Amino acid sequence: MRDTPLYWRHQPGGPATIINKEDMGTGEFWWVDSNAGAQASNATGSDQAPCTTIAAAVVLAAAALAVDSRNIAHTILIKEGHTESLTAAIALSTAGIKVVALGNLGQRATLTMITNATAAFTVTGANCKIQGIDFVCNVADTTEFIDVAADYLEICDNTFKEGTQVTLAMITADSGDGVGDNLYIHHNYFTQPSAGNGTSAVEIAKDLRNVRIEYNRMYGDWDDACIELPADGKDCTELQIHNNHLSNLLTGQHAIQINSTTCTGSITNNMMQTDTQGATLDAGACFCSGNMWLDVDGSNDEEAIPVNAVISGTIPTGNDAVPTIDTTDNVLTADVLGNKEDAAAVGPVSTTESGIAFIKQNVEAGISLIALHAVPAKDTTDDVNMSDVIGKKEDDAAVGAVSTTESLVAFVKQNVEAGLSLVALHAVPAKDTTDDVNMSDVIGKKEDDAAVGAVSTTESLVAFVKQVINSTIVPAADTTDNVEVGDVIGNKTDAAADGIVSATESIMAYSKQLVTTAKQRVTHSVTFTDVGDGATGSHALFTVTGAVRCTVMAFGVVNLGIQAGATIEVGIVGATTQFIALTAGDAIDAGEIWHDATPDATVEDVSVYTQFYLSDGTDITYDVKTDTIDSGTIDFVCEFELMTSAGNVVAA
Across 174-277, where does the E strand assignment appear?
Answer: 184-186, 189-192, 200-204, 212-214, 217-220, 225-229, 239-242, 245-248, 254-258, 265-268, 271-274
Helices (H) and strands (E) in the chain, counts: 12, 40
- 496 burial (CB, 10 Å; 0-12 / 13-18 / 19+) is middle
Buried b (16+ CB within 10 A) or exposed e, 235-269: ebeebebbebbbbbbbeebbbbbbbbeebebebbe
DSSP single-letter state for residue 621: E
- Which pairs count as long-range contacts for 376-385, CB under 8 Å and 24+ apart, including other chains? 376/407, 379/406, 379/407, 379/410, 380/407, 381/405, 381/406
Mean pLDDT by 10 residues, the chain (652 residues): 42 52 71 75 80 93 87 90 92 95 92 85 96 95 93 97 94 95 98 94 96 98 96 88 97 94 95 92 94 81 76 46 88 85 89 90 66 81 87 90 89 76 69 88 90 88 85 85 84 84 86 80 97 96 97 96 96 96 95 93 90 96 97 97 92 96
End-to-end CA distance of the chain: 33
DSSP 160: E
Give pairs for 61-69: CB < 8 Å, separation 24+.
61/28, 61/30, 61/94, 61/97, 62/93, 62/94, 62/97, 64/28, 64/30, 65/27, 65/94, 65/95, 65/96, 65/97, 66/94, 68/27, 68/28
Neighbouring residues of 142: CB distance < 8 A, sequence distance ≥ 6 = 113, 116, 117, 118, 119, 165, 167, 168
The bridge status of strand 83-86 relative to strand 245-248 is unpaired
| Sequential DSSP letters for 76-93 | EEEPTT-EEEESS-EEE-
CB 409 within 8 A of CB 392: yes
**DSSP assignment of 426-484, as one string?**
HS---TT----SSHHHHH--TTPPPP-SS--SS--HHHHHHHHHHHHSPPPTT----SS
Q: How many CB atoms lie within 10 A of CB 26?
A: 13
Amino acid symbol at 382: D
What are the phi and psi torsion angles at 631 (to 5°)?
-155, 170
Contact 633/523 with Cβ under 8 angstroms? no
Nearest to 183 by CA among 152, 215, 227: 152
Is residue 425 a contact partner of residue 417, using CB atoms and an 8 Å limit? no
The dihedral built from the CA positions of residue 40, 46, 49 and 53, taken in this order, carries a sign that is: positive
DSSP for 314-343 reads: SS-S-TTSPPPTT----SSHHHHH--TTPP
Contacts of 187 (CB under 8 A, 6+ apart): 156, 157, 214, 215, 216
How distant is the alpha carbon of residue 444 from its chain centre? 58
